[in-house]
Structure 1
Amino acid sequence: MTNRDFLVVTTTHDDEAGARELAAAVVRERLAACAQVYPIQSVYWWDGEIQDSAEWRIDFKTRADLGGRLATFITERHSYDTPEVVGVPVVTGSTAYLDWVNSETTND
């Protein structure tokens, strides 16, 4: 596998408990090897006006071939009408870490 075979997939959630639940569900399903949950402040256009709200960001470390399944999983379980699901390719990373991501994700 090469670095390009991996993604960091990001979404946000409106509360910490929901973000942690989603993170655990994804990792339990082995769609990502790990998830990082942390607070952010988001400014965005929604319902015809600028929104400014606290959210919880979740970054999932996964294989590129699982990106579509992960996006579907997140979207089906998310409370937002239009959840952010953005996958960014890994350009570089340690071989040992990426081997771990590979071994901890599903091979179905």
Structure 2
Amino acid sequence: MTARLVHISCPDDASATALARSLVDARLAACASVLPGMRSVYRWQGAVEQAAEVLLLAKTWADRVDALVEHVRAAHPYDLPEIVAVEITGGLAPYLAWLQAETRANPDA
């Protein structure tokens, strides 16, 4: 089992911050970073669009990704939210241990 970094685009700071808090509160992510100032260019419904967005980076464990995706889909204001999970292949071992512990129902177990 390994850690995952989940990339989620949000329309604004308020929705990204609320989503970040709900993911951490639910132990679906150990940490979620809100990065404002992103500009996205994408094709949607046959037209090229452009939008100012906020990037949410959620750090979680592999076995929590499916539940995290469902949580985001239910809470996200977009019809089709961008949710992309990337495997973390390395990092500081104590941080990765903390990340795993904080995505458990009982982090001391």
Give the structure-1-normalised TM-score: 0.92
**1:68-104 deviation per Cα after TM superposition (whole angstroms, max 9, x unaligned):** 0000000111110000111000011110110110111
List runs of 5+ in structure 2 lacking aligned partners: none
Counterpart residue identity of residue 42, structure 1: S
CA RMSD between the two structures: 1.2
The separation in 1 between residues aligned to 2:15 and 2:87, in whole angstroms, is 26
Distance in 2, matches of 1:88 and 1:107, equals: 23
Runs of 4+ in 1 over 6 A off after TM superposition: none
Q: How many residues align?
A: 105
Aligned to 1:22: 19
Distance 1:12 1:5 in 2: 23
Matches within 5 A, 1:34-73: 34-39=31-36, 40-73=38-71
CA distance in 2, matches of 1:106, 1:52: 38
Q: Which moved more, 1:4-13 or 1:60-69?
A: 4-13
